[in-house]
Structure 1
Amino acid sequence: TVFILVCVCDLQEPSTKRVKPLSRVTSLASLIPPVKAAPLKRIGQTLQRSISFRSDCRPWGRQIAPAITKRRDSKLWSETFDLALGHMLSSTEIKRQEAIFELSQGEQDLIEDLKLAKKAYRDPMLKLSIMTEHELNQIFFTLDSLIPLHEDLLSRLREARKPDGSTDHVGHILVDWLPCLETYNSYCSNQVAAKALLDHKKQDHRVHDFLQRCLESPFSRKLDLWSFLDIPRSRLVKYPLLLREMLKHTPNDHPDRQHLDEAMNMIQSIVADINTQTGESECRYYKERLLYLESGQRDLLIDSSRILSCHGELKNNRRAKLHVFLFQDVLVVTRAVTQNEQLCYQLHRQPIPVRDLEWEDLQDGEVRLGGSIRGAFSHSERTKNFFRVVFRSGGQLQTHCFQASDAFNKQQWLNCIRQAKEAVWSAESGAAQTRDRSMMHSTDASSECPQMLSPVTVCCCTSEPLQ
């Protein structure tokens, strides 16, 4: 399965609109419009994305008639409080009040959803022994502890609201409360493991049937369990947007401006830190699930990787499904296998160092299924969206023709590979400059100390990508 884990494009909290579920990347990310098949999973943007999963459309057991969906009404500040007050305020101040009210209303919605996840999913599954307490603790993790945290903020915001519904200052509240969000570190870092366990448990007849019944019940608003479990991450990445909106409509001479500026810096730092730790956690998770057929496949570049740039399912030109991982310094081609009831990834051929990786975008119809390349062979769907990666080392030549699910997915892969190459070139360039400075220092020192060895000039070369 496939996905991409900080472009902040998928920042909306779950809506009542039913969308086609995506196949299974963190990145803590989300943060990508629905596609026909599994999308690439980008890491390093984990908080900006939901981690979606494959769901079977066929329910187990008795078919349940569709229920009327319970929709959540959206509320505006100007529609909730005294309309007469609105005529006394400037349009800028009204927009500021709307942003503050949206922050408060969002906290209330979040609390309701977290409580619903516990009451409608976790508690019944434990009581009915659909899952063990240990399994539920792994999936829901510290979800319970997040409820009082957000109840605290909601209480403070309501206390700051005046009888007429307006709020003068919220910056000091946020500056005091935002450090509490560091508790999100552990919750977001656990999401990859929680998602994997939930996917595995869905294969169980009782779990699948229970979740399907919940999905078709009014209380779910057509959201699956993972959508509720992912709501905290969704909310976390929305705080910078809400603060930016408040700042946009808060004059520079407003008493709340300084605190809002401070709060913005705080939340950006907190989100960046959680995002980094979540990405590293996701990278460790997949590294631990790599299976090596022989010791020669082990690579220090994999062991030393802390960043998983992207990963996902691709097909080769023989229509075989492969799961490809692009770590910061190495590309790893695997086949998904099940071992001890766990999804693992068995290495397929040798890992490819990014610095030696060459890539080429192939035109539609350029690949003959089953092997060879030829120009303008066909424009059928079966020969679209291919790209090629090549690795040459001494007498070794390794070539892969990969087919993405669609043109958008292919472009994501090519962008990730290009960025990984640029990062390696930049790192090597920086290292070369450091060595040059060190050599210059050593040369100066050797003129004063004849016993020192003369510096040796080191040349670094990298392969240019196939364009």
Structure 2
Amino acid sequence: MPFSESVATSDADGFKRQEAIWEVFTSECVYFLDQLMVLKEVFLATLINLQMRNCLTDVESWRMFANLSELCLVSFGFLNNLLRVIKNMLEITEGGGPTLLQVLSKAFQESICYCLQKYCLNYSTALLYLDSLKHREDFGSYVKWCERNEQCRRLQLRDLLVAPLQRLTRYPLLLRNIAKRCETEDERRGLQAIADQVDTSICDLEGKVKWLDNYQKVKQLRDALVWLPVWERHKRTFIPENLKHLLKTVTLENLIFHRSLLHEGKLVLTENTKLIDVYLFLFDEFLLITKMKRNKKVYPSHQELDQLLTDGCTFTVLDQPISLDRLQLKNIDQLNAATSGLPHSFIIMHQNRYQQCIGAFILQAASESAKKVWMSKIEGAVTALLKLDSQQPRVKSASLWMESSQI
């Protein structure tokens, strides 16, 4: 390659590298000025100002905005350091400052990922908290007043609250874009390592969010589940009043607290000639069929569990938990469903350790697709548990033990 062409190619590569760095800088400016600072100066500052005047004093700013102020400081510091690098590249300064790799490595290893993880872990809680306040007239007026501010650019509070999550997921793409255009192999490997680190942070965050969401939901559910005494569940069981104290009280904390909630939702149970609304909870080891007790409010059929729990709905456990290694699932095909008048239905059979059926539940979904989802979720959970049992059989361990069909 002629020398002139080589120089031209080198200049083109250098220009593309500068473009990639400039994209990181400009997008960070938009994130900092148009999202983080709008949240802080328009929404958070207004809320604090109102609370100083004894308005909305019961609204907890942390539950809604988490570590927003910390995010602003971190983003501003990152922009300043990145600007110094850009000035050095353009030879506006005398040089001698930190390199691009040093700035990015320090920013992502020491502050950006850590602060964003902290914020993102609170995000789902913030949305629930926001939903719990939206019916209040005073809070609604505050939000509408803030959203009318021209700095919001027609964005709503929810649009701005999600911005840090979106920014975190975009960082690896921006970093790899610079890495492709690096002049040296060391810088390319270094930037690739930082991008991989951010990816790892995102994966770690997804696991934490999933665990935290399950923990919070199960914690709420523990207080909403009702387990009737045996003499109320089975009318033929007679226990004299003076002997009832001898029966151990069921502690639902031991039942569900260390389990993962895989799926839940409303179905209809066919019992004799009656159709009963039930709510099913599929955990990683068993299935709970419960009867929902609503408040006087009228609930839409699509209402989510979080809102039901918030509104004080309770769930009375029918019969007993169905261990997944004792569960048989039977589909009711469309011909039999039409003949019996049970559309979108399937059967759950509960077996004892001797493979005898001790309970059968005909459950009806709202649609054929909803039925398929339920059957798929249950089959997947059963397969996962049986696979886990084959690798590491469950043994008796204090209050968490559940009798296995392997006995």
Give TM-score scaled by structure 2 length.
0.65
Q: Could you say which residue in structure 1 is the equivalent of 2:310?
A: 342
Q: Could you say which residue in structure 2 is the equivalent of 1:45?
A: none
Matched, 1:174 2:104: yes
Q: Could you say which residue in structure 1 is the equivalent of 2:203?
A: 272
Give the drift of 1:373: 2.9
Q: Could you say which residue in structure 2 is the equivalent of 1:232?
A: 164
Q: Could you say which residue in structure 2 is the equivalent of 1:423?
A: 384
Q: Among 218, 227, 241, which residue is 1:294 paired with? A: 227
> In structure 1, what is the Cα distance between the partners aligned to 2:22 and 2:331?
48
> In structure 2, what is the Cα distance between the partners aligned to 1:175 and 1:203?
45
Matches within 5 A, 1:164-313: 170-179=100-109, 180=111, 181-215=113-147, 218-250=150-182, 253-290=184-221, 291-294=224-227, 298=252, 300=254, 302-305=256-259, 307-310=260-263, 313=265
**Identity among equivalent pairs (%):** 19
Does the residue aligned with 1:174 lie in a helix, a strand or coil?
Answer: helix
Amino acid at match of 2:391: G
Matched, 1:329 2:260: no
Q: Among 78, 86, 90, which residue is 1:161 paired with? A: 86
> In structure 1, what is the Cα distance between the partners aligned to 2:328 and 2:123?
33
Contact 2:269–2:277, Cα closer than 8 Å, also in 1: no
> In structure 2, what is the Cα distance between the partners aligned to 1:241 and 1:258?
15
Q: 1:124–1:309: structure 2 CA closer, same or farther, 3 Å change rule?
A: same
> In structure 2, what is the Cα distance between the partners aligned to 1:155 and 1:320?
63
Give the drift of 1:148: 0.7
- Computing the radius of gyration from Cα coordinates, the structure with the larger value is 2
Contact 1:360–1:387, Cα closer than 8 Å, also in 2: no
Give the drift of 1:139: 1.7
Give the drift of 1:275: 2.3
Q: Could you say which residue in structure 1 is the equivalent of 2:337?
A: 373
Amino acid at match of 1:349: V
Give the drift of 1:237: 2.2
Matched, 1:402 2:334: no
Q: Among 132, 143, 150, which residue is 2:75 paired with? A: 150
Bigger RCO (CA 8 Å, 6+ sep): 1
Q: 1:163–1:280: structure 2 CA closer, same or farther, 3 Å change rule?
A: same
Question: What runs of 5+ residues in structure 2 fail to find an aligned partner?
Answer: 1-7, 92-97, 229-249, 296-306, 353-357, 396-403
> In structure 1, what is the Cα distance between the partners aligned to 2:108 and 2:126?
25
Q: 1:215–1:359: structure 2 CA closer, same or farther, 3 Å change rule?
A: farther
Give the drift of 1:200: 0.9
Q: 1:271–1:416: structure 2 CA closer, same or farther, 3 Å change rule?
A: farther
Q: Among 8, 27, 30, which residue is 1:109 paired with? A: 30
Give the drift of 1:284: 1.5
Q: Could you say which residue in structure 2 is the equivalent of 1:8?
A: none
Number of residue pairs aligned between Structure 1 and Structure 2: 334
- Per-residue CA deviation, residues 220-251 of structure 1 (Å, 9 max, x unaligned), is 34432222222222222222333344445557
- Per-residue CA deviation, residues 241-269 of structure 1 (Å, 9 max, x unaligned), is 33344445557x53311211221232122
- Greater shift, 102-111 or 150-159, is seen at 102-111
Amino acid at match of 1:205: E
Matches within 5 A, 1:33-72: none
- Per-residue CA deviation, residues 26-48 of structure 1 (Å, 9 max, x unaligned), is xxxxxxxxxxxxxxxxxxxxxxx
Contact 1:189–1:277, Cα closer than 8 Å, also in 2: yes
Q: Could you say which residue in structure 1 is the equivalent of 2:350?
A: 392
> In structure 1, what is the Cα distance between the partners aligned to 2:392 and 2:213?
28
Give the drift of 1:89: 6.1
Question: What runs of 5+ residues in structure 1 fail to find an aligned partner?
Answer: 1-86, 436-457, 462-467
Q: 1:356–1:153: structure 2 CA closer, same or farther, 3 Å change rule?
A: farther
Contact 2:147–2:156, Cα closer than 8 Å, also in 1: yes
